[in-house]
Structure 1
């Protein structure tokens, strides 16, 4: 069953990303005015400077970087090597001409330029607070067991370091990865979500590097907002206005966790709700729907969406899922 949940997390990441791609980085009002309601894969509109490069059902840099991370793990037989991760992400960025397109976040762009110039990852500052580490972390959630929280945080910190080393960015990645990992163990969402604020607080306070607001407090606000709202539309509007749906970790990660709750953990519903939210729709969709996919397994993904995703992107997620399951089993046996 863990294999099906790992595959569900990977497909969830891609479905949420591709569903949210056409509306990414647009204000909520503009999403409503342009699309009405997004409930299927759509091409990126020509007038969306971030989405215009992508065809219907194509995923964005979020899932591309997650697969770079997975490729680096496969190359190193399940070991985390920041320089190898950085090399894979840089190779993708150069293939996609990402430095000349509006797809890379500011933190990743600065870090990848430094890596391209030959700087080792350990020498980079990378103290940005954007969500690039959290958006690509799903393969680590699939691979890493949670029994040793300190080691879990250290592993996420190491894997995030090619682009993000700040306390907030790491804490956001820990929250998403930990939720996925617990889901793969078969834990129920109710117990996972109850523990997340404490996990976030511990990760953020482990090595303080910024003056960021508390991720734990923002998670609690996001969940309270959704639980007390009068219906889905009201909940989405209040999340957008109160918590925020921007590219910062402090907004997008709490928003993603709240969207899992709002969708009642249904991956297909979650992808749709995230796509219509406004803001960083593809990233919030990728993180939230990856968690939903891990909770319910790949069979919960709409077969039509999965088939379209497979056909357009020509990728074999089963190869990644098999390897990540094997690496997880090795770590669990230690």
Structure 2
């Protein structure tokens, strides 16, 4: 059963990313005017300078970096090694020519340039608050049991450190990874979501490095907004206007948790709602739909959408699933 949920998290990440790619970084009004309603995979429009590099059902840097993280974990036999993670992400960035395309976030670009220049991860500043750590956190949720919170936060911080070391960025990655890990254990969404503000507060206050607003408070606001809204469109509009759907962790992670709630945890519905939200649609979709996939397992992903993702991207998620499950079981037994 855990294998199905790990596969669900990985496919969910990819589904949300690829569905949200065409509309990424566009205002909500422009998404509506251009697409009407996105409910299937579409190619990136030529006039979208972030999505124009991608074809129908292709995923973006979110999933590429998540798989780079998974590759580094496998190379290090289940251990989290920041320099190996940085090397794998850099390898992807160079192969994709990401430095010359509008696909890397500002924080990641600065960090990867320093890694490319030979600087060890331990010496990097990386105090940015963008969502680059949270967007690639799904393999960490698959790998790490959520039993010891202090250790969980330390491990996520280590994995985030090649590009993000700030309290907020780490807390955002912890929220996404912890929700996925508990879902893989078979925990209900209601119990997971009730615990998330406390998890966020603990992670953000573990080592304060910024003057950020509280992620826990923003999560509570996002959930309250969805639960009190009158219908799907009104809820999405309020999430966009009030919580925010930008590239900062303080907006996009609460928005993603809100979208899990709004979609009733259905991964296919979640991917579609995120794609139409506006803002950082691919990243919010990747994070939210990964959680939905972990909650329900890979069998909950629409088989037609899954087949299209497989065909276009030549995915072998069983390879990642087998390794991550094996390492998780080793950690659970330790």
TM-score of the pair, normalised by structure 2: 1.00
Provide the C-alpha distance between the structure 2 equivalents of 1:304 and 1:315, rounded to a whole number of angstroms. 15
Residue 203 in structure 1 maps to residue 203 in structure 2: yes
In the alignment, what sits opposite 2:270? Answer: 270
Determine the structure 2 residue equivalent to 1:138.
138
Specify the alignment match of 1:282 in structure 2.
Answer: 282
Structure 2: stretches of 5+ with no match in the other structure: none
CA deviation string 1:87-132 (max 9, x = no partner): 0000000000000000000000000000000000000000000000
Corresponding residue number in structure 2 for 1:312: 312
Q: CA deviation at 1:315?
A: 1.6
Could you say which residue in structure 2 is the equivalent of 1:255? Answer: 255
Question: Deviation string for 1:105-164 (max 9, x for gaps)?
Answer: 000000000000000000000000000000001001001001110000000000000000
1:147 and 1:29 map into 2 onto residues whose CA distance is: 43
Residue matched to 1:224: 224
Give the 5 Å matches for 1:1-334: 1-334=1-334
- The whole-number CA distance in structure 2 between the counterparts of 1:284 and 1:268 is 14
CA distance in 1, matches of 2:265, 2:146: 21
- The Cα shift of 1:48 comes to 0.1
CA distance in 2, matches of 1:271, 1:78: 29
> Using the alignment, how far apart are the partners of 1:65 and 1:172 within structure 2?
16
CA apart distance, 1:329? 0.2
Q: How big is each residue's C-alpha offset from its partner over 1:228-271, in whole Å with a ceiling of 9 and x where there is no partner?
A: 00000000000000000000000000000000000000000000
Give structure 1 regions of 4+ aligned residues with deviation exceeding 4 angstroms: none
Q: For the residues of structure 1 that align with 2:80 and 2:32, how far apart are their CA atoms?
A: 42
Q: How many residues align?
A: 334
CA distance in structure 2 between the aligned counterparts of 1:216 and 1:52, rounded to whole angstroms:
35
The SS at the match of 1:235 is helix
Rounded Cα–Cα distance in structure 1 between residues aligned with 2:80 and 2:241:
38
Partner SS, residue 53 of structure 1: coil
SS in 1 for 2:139: helix
Q: 3-state SS of the aligned residue for 1:112? A: helix
d(CA) in 2 for partners of 1:273, 1:19:
10
Give 3-state SS (helix, strand or coil) of 1:99's partner.
helix
| Cα separation, 2, equivalents of 1:151 and 1:92 | 28
Separation (CA, whole Å) in 1 of partners of 2:118 and 2:323: 30
